[in-house]
Amino acid sequence: MAVTETTVAESCAAANRAARPLATASTAEKNAALEATARLLEERTDAILEANAGDLADERAVGLTDALRDRLRLTAERVAAMAEGVRVVRDLDDPVGEELERKTLASGIDLRKVRVPLGVVAVVYEARPNVTIDCAALTIKSGNAIVLRGSSYAERSNAALAGIVREALAEAGLPEDAVLSLGGGGHEELAELATQEGLVDLLIPRGGEGLKAAIKAVATVPVMYAAAGNCHVYVHAEADPEMARRIAVNAKVQRPGVCNAAETLLIDAAVAERVAPAILGDLAAAGVELVGDERARALAGDVEVGTATDEDWDSEYLGLKMTVAVVDSVEDAIDHVNRHGTGHSEAIVTADEAAAEEFVAGVDAAAVYVNASTRFTDGFEYGMGAEIGNSTQKLHARGPIGMRELTTFKYVAHGSGQVRE
């Protein structure tokens, strides 16, 4: 069974041992493991869905919100999408060994800067079993071992998926302990995982601000936070009204339970009276609960808009709720985003190139969109095959975490007997 029966420390040590041969595995060997994973996902779809049905029926999942249950639920189509994503990763260039820079030093030494794996990556995540496959595929191709710690209420699904990857690794002649799945234990297990110095090279928590705070309080290993997405759509004075309607609704409604869904709509005062009723009407018709400032409420017409609290402006709802504000300028929109956003994804709708450039330059976020939905911040959409999450920090990676974000580099120097004087 893929869920380990050993301690966290023993699991991390096993992954550390597996990371060494995986780091030097050939591209062909890693691709063979990925192809076997995709094939087994397709062949074992019924078993995966049976395991997932058990998770959905378990009492641990009873209290989940509709959005979280949707993230937990697997379908035949979602399993097929996982297999497709694995094959996309398989077909991408292998980052390991990529030459980043080369020069000859004054000493005559030939110096190369080459990309290498990090070693052991640990990922903590909630609800979405497909993350198990995304993470495993990316770490295998980038030559890293991985320790996965998913939610307790997704334990059956994660175990079934991790077991498939381990079987594929063994089939390709690679160490199966390069992918290890811990059960969804309590805070003690999380703290133990976050303090495995010398065994874990990078910890990536995927989740909200609560998980981020819990990790920050105890972590002694390097951490890359794939945290909350309080994303905004700003409808500028020069926005095309129909485009603004499409983008605002898509950013909120297309899949509201994910981190790149918009949580706040900002409308420029110059066009608010003209465009706000239509956009708010579309959102309400889609089932979105709206809350806003006084100016937004006054312009809502027949659409019900509640009073936004101070907490609302800083909330990642992950559901069908949205805050709305009227702002007086691009500068005000930028200020609002930078005060309340989480550095994830922000969008402006405008036909004014100067306004777009000002927004792009002024907003502090991993991804900024001009005339497009925030929903595109995704490793698959960005051509990475998959992602481990979206980094909302600036070091050492920002935005979708793909294969190259799971590598570091080393300097390789070739001489002919040089010694330093």
One domain for residues 314 and 401: no
Same domain? For 58 and 102 the reply is yes
Same domain, 209 and 343: no
Helix (H) or strand (E) holding 99: strand 99-104
Q: How many structural domains does the chain have? A: 2
Residue 163 counted as domain residue:
yes
- Per-residue confidence (pLDDT) for residue 185, from 0 to 100: 66
Asked if residue 327 and residue 260 are part of one domain, the reply reads: yes
Q: How far is CA 16 from CA 8, 88, 178, in A?
A: 12, 27, 8
331 and 236, same domain (yes or no): yes
Q: Is residue 57 part of a domain?
A: yes
Q: Show pLDDT as tens, one digit a residue, over the chain (421 residues).
A: 445 467 999 999 999 999 999 999 999 999 999 999 999 999 999 999 999 999 999 998 888 888 788 889 999 999 999 999 999 999 999 999 999 999 999 999 999 999 999 999 999 988 789 999 999 999 999 999 999 999 889 999 999 999 999 999 999 999 999 999 997 667 788 899 999 999 999 999 987 778 888 899 999 999 998 878 999 999 999 999 999 999 999 999 999 988 999 999 999 999 999 999 999 999 999 999 999 999 999 999 999 999 999 999 999 998 999 999 999 999 999 999 999 999 999 999 999 999 999 999 999 999 999 999 999 999 989 988 888 989 988 888 899 999 999 999 999 999 999 999 9
219 and 250 housed in the same domain: no
Q: How far is CA 392 from the centre of its chain?
A: 9
Same domain flag for 153 and 191: yes
Helix/strand/coil percent split, the chain, to 5: 45, 20, 35
CB atoms within 10 A of CB 199: 23
User: Which CATH number does the domain housing residue 208 bear?
Assistant: 3.40.605.10
Compute the distance between CA of residue 250 and CA of residue 247 in angstroms, rounded to an integer. 5
Domain hosting residue 298, numbered range: 231-376
* 103 burial type by CB count under 10 A (0-12 exposed, 13-18 middle, 19+ buried): exposed
What is the pLDDT, as a whole number, of residue 184? Answer: 67
pLDDT at position 354, please?
A: 98
User: Does residue 281 form part of some domain?
Assistant: yes
Gap between the Cα atoms of 11 and 299, Å rounded: 57
Residue 228: per-residue pLDDT? 84
Same domain flag for 123 and 175: yes
Distance CA 60, CA 66 (A): 14
Angle between helix 27-43 and helix 130-141 axes, rounded to 10 deg? 160
pLDDT score, position 4: 47
Q: So what's the pLDDT on residue 68? A: 82
Residue 421 falls inside a structural domain = no
pLDDT at 13: 97
Tell me, yes or no, whether 243 and 218 share the same domain: no
CA angle at 264 for the pair 401 and 321, rounded to the nearest 5°: 100
* Same domain, residue pair 34 and 110: yes
Q: Are residues 252 and 211 part of one domain?
A: no
- Check residue 22 and give its pLDDT: 98
Instruction: Determine the pLDDT at residue 65.
Output: 82
In a domain, 381, yes or no: no
Element (H, E) at 275: helix 269-285
